[in-house]
Amino acid sequence: MSQKHEKLIDKKGLRLDGRKPEELRSVQIEVGILPNADGSAYIQQGKNKILAGVYGPRELHPKHLALPDRTVLRCRYHMAPFSVQERKSPAPSRREIELSKVIRESLEPSIFLEYYPRTGIDLFIEVLQADGGTRCASITAASLALADAGIPMQDLVAACAAGKIDDIVVLDLMDTEDKIGSADVPVALMPNLNAITLLQMDGILTFEEFEKAVNLALEGCRKIHAMQKEALKTKYVNVKEVEE
Amino acid sequence: MSSIIVSLKRKQIAEFIEKEKRLDGRGLLDYREIVVEPGVIERAEGSARVLLGKTEVLAGVKIGIGKPYADTPNEGVLTVNAELVPLASPTFDPGPPKENAIELARVVDRGIRESKVLDFKKLCIIPSKKVLVVFVDVYVLNHDGNLIDASALAALAALLNTKMFNYEVEGDEVKIKSDLTQLPVRKHPIAVTFAKIGDKLIVDPWLEEEQIIDARLTVTTDDDGNICAMQKGGNGYFTPKEVLKAVKTAREKAKEIRKKLKW
């Protein structure tokens, strides 16, 4: 973590992009935008632009991976080569493989996997442009894509990160804050069950700071959850208009 | 293991844990015996073998000279890799590391990196051109559960055991001298992994417990009790209360382990 920027928070207490410490970036979500997928969603959070598509439940290949008592959720988180400053090789990096795993494990608790034994659900996430907090925005979009595919779920999973910059705990870190800041705590939540399904942390935090960061992130998740529900409803409102 | 045996085992283990007991006789928050044996590989700059119960991990440190990353031209490089060696378990396959090995390496890496065990600025030889590269390779030799904690211990023990070459800079050339100095290690981050079974939290799950748990949470804390890395895994969830309880317990457990190992 280099110290090129002196201050991430100015004298008025505002961040580089003019946000207050506890403010989310602007979020736009659209559900059902990929014609071929069984379910899909697109999210813009700050400059993050992320697509999620779901295929399934469908026959699983190779077949030996199938389970007799539940469906198998497979997840691929992938960043486009042009999504970051320096071109990223399209081959999956170690980071992408780890994120694919933690994203899958953040969504599995929400799905009634036992409803579709011997099948597979494939979830593909493409980060078209990255601006910090892509794993959280990916989870938010992916959960909506699963819902859009009509897969029975206990709750939508909403995700949001909190972190520490200039010794202040803030919500929803953008790229520069993530790189220069001193800690990052991504969290995913099923708000109706108060269940944390993703929790990672890197940096240095005291117990008190950690507690504050988690609570702030959970608050962010609840706000995003409200936007997810709105986005899901909007899809059907629009369908109605077309029919008339 | 077939899913039927797992679900039978699950019932038995869950019933025990409900009564605050475990099949191997431990309390819910007890670790298995930890044995650390440093300096087992003479060819490596540093090494250590760690036994956590029957889980066995060997870590080796090699130091080389390489190029720094473009965004950190004045800092040395740390690379952590983990191999789930196929002789360690019937469930490990040969081939390039898959997601479990990659996650293991990255969680161990974060613990060391974020707690600032190494002073990366001091590993710089010629800015933008030459820096020291510290390779930590974690070799799992027997899998009996909780590979994260065992690997984190082995990696740190190997770094503590590392003696690196001295060097002289002449223009753009780096001359390696024959004498050795201790690699400075500033912190002792300890990873403590919790498993959730029903609504109970246990530490240091062994293999049979690991196969049936709902979710796990690893909390790495440094000597000052600060949190430096966390990772949730598994297809279950934690409540906010459980998370805070786990963090508090992790700090105490890490302290105990440091005391026991005299770190």
What pLDDT score was predicted for residue A240?
66
Q: Is residue B15 part of a domain?
A: no
Q: What is the pLDDT of residues A19-42, one digit of tens each?
A: 999 999 999 999 999 999 999 999
Q: How confident is the model at residue A58 (pLDDT cuts 50, 70, 90)?
A: very high
Region A184-196 average pLDDT:
98
What pLDDT score was predicted for residue B7?
79
B245 touches chain A (CB under 8 A): no
d(CA B34, CA B260): 9
Q: Is residue B3 part of a domain?
A: no
Contact flag B229-A201 (C-beta cutoff 8 Å): yes
Q: What is the pLDDT of residues B66-113, one digit of tens each?
A: 999 998 999 999 999 999 999 999 999 999 999 999 999 999 999 999
Q: How confident is the model at residue A241 (pLDDT cuts 50, 70, 90)?
A: low
Domains, chain A, in order of start with CATH, read: 27-243 (3.30.230.70)
Chain B hits for A156, CB-CB cut-off 8 Å, are none
What pLDDT score was predicted for residue B101?
97
Chain B hits for A169, CB-CB cut-off 8 Å, are none
Contact flag A109-B230 (C-beta cutoff 8 Å): no
Contact flag B102-A97 (C-beta cutoff 8 Å): yes
Of the residues A202, A208, A210, the best mutation for testing chain B's interface (the one with the most B CB atoms within 10 Å of its CB) is A202
Chain A hits for B222, CB-CB cut-off 8 Å, are 204
Among A94, A197, A201, beta carbon nearest to B106: A94
Among A101, A109, A194, beta carbon nearest to B99: A101
Whether the per-residue pLDDT at A166 is higher than 80: the answer is yes
Q: What is the pLDDT of residues B106-124, one digit of tens each?
A: 999 999 999 999 999 999 9
Print the domain residue range for B191: 24-261
Nearest to A126 by CA among A159, A149, A99: A99
Q: How confident is the model at residue A1 (pLDDT cuts 50, 70, 90)?
A: very low
What pLDDT score was predicted for residue B171?
85
State the average pLDDT for chain A.
Answer: 94
Q: How far is A105 from chain B (nearest CA, A)?
A: 5
What pLDDT score was predicted for residue A244?
58
Q: What is the CATH number of the domain that holds B144?
A: 3.30.230.70
By CA distance, what is A210's nearest residue in B? B227
Q: Is residue B7 part of a domain?
A: no
A205 touches chain B (CB under 8 A): yes
Contact flag B229-A202 (C-beta cutoff 8 Å): yes
B78 touches chain A (CB under 8 A): no
Q: How far is B235 from chain A (nearest CA, A)?
A: 5
Of the residues A192, A204, A208, A216, the best mutation for testing chain B's interface (the one with the most B CB atoms within 10 Å of its CB) is A204
A77 touches chain B (CB under 8 A): no
Chain A hits for B240, CB-CB cut-off 8 Å, are 194, 196, 214-215, 218
Among B103, B106, B240, beta carbon nearest to A194: B240
Nearest to B94 by CA among B105, B83, B104: B83
Chain A hits for B227, CB-CB cut-off 8 Å, are 201, 204-207, 210
Contact flag B115-A202 (C-beta cutoff 8 Å): no
What pLDDT score was predicted for residue B65?
95
What pLDDT score was predicted for residue A2?
44
Question: Cβ(B48)–Cβ(B38) under 8 Å?
Answer: yes
Give the number of domains in chain B: 1
What pLDDT score was predicted for residue A242?
60
What pLDDT score was predicted for residue B3?
66
What pLDDT score was predicted for residue A237?
86
What pLDDT score was predicted for residue B67?
95
Q: Is residue B40 part of a domain?
A: yes
Whether the per-residue pLDDT at A4 is higher than 90: the answer is no
Contact flag A98-B115 (C-beta cutoff 8 Å): no
A207 touches chain B (CB under 8 A): yes
Secondary structure of chain B as H, E, C letters: CCHHHHHHHHHHHHHHHHCCCCCCCCCCCCCCCEEEEECCCCCCCEEEEEEECCEEEEEEEEEEEECCCCCCCCCCEEEEEEEECHHHCCCCCCCCCCHHHHHHHHHHHHHHHHCCCCCHHHHEEECCCEEEEEEEEEEEEECCCCHHHHHHHHHHHHHHCCEEEEEEEECCEEEEEEEEEECCCCCCCEEEEEEEECCEEEECCCHHHHCCCCEEEEEEECCCCCEEEEEEECCCCECHHHHHHHHHHHHHHHHHHHHHHCC
A200 touches chain B (CB under 8 A): yes
Q: Is residue B6 part of a domain?
A: no
In this structure, of A3-7, A117-121, B92-96, the range with the lowest mean pLDDT score is A3-7
Give me the interface pTM, i.e. the ipTM. Answer: 0.91
Of the residues B69, B84, B221, B232, the best mutation for testing chain A's interface (the one with the most A CB atoms within 10 Å of its CB) is B232
Under-70 pLDDT residues of chain B: 1-3
Q: How far is B79 from chain A (nearest CA, A)?
A: 12
d(CA B28, CA B260): 19
What pLDDT score was predicted for residue A5?
56
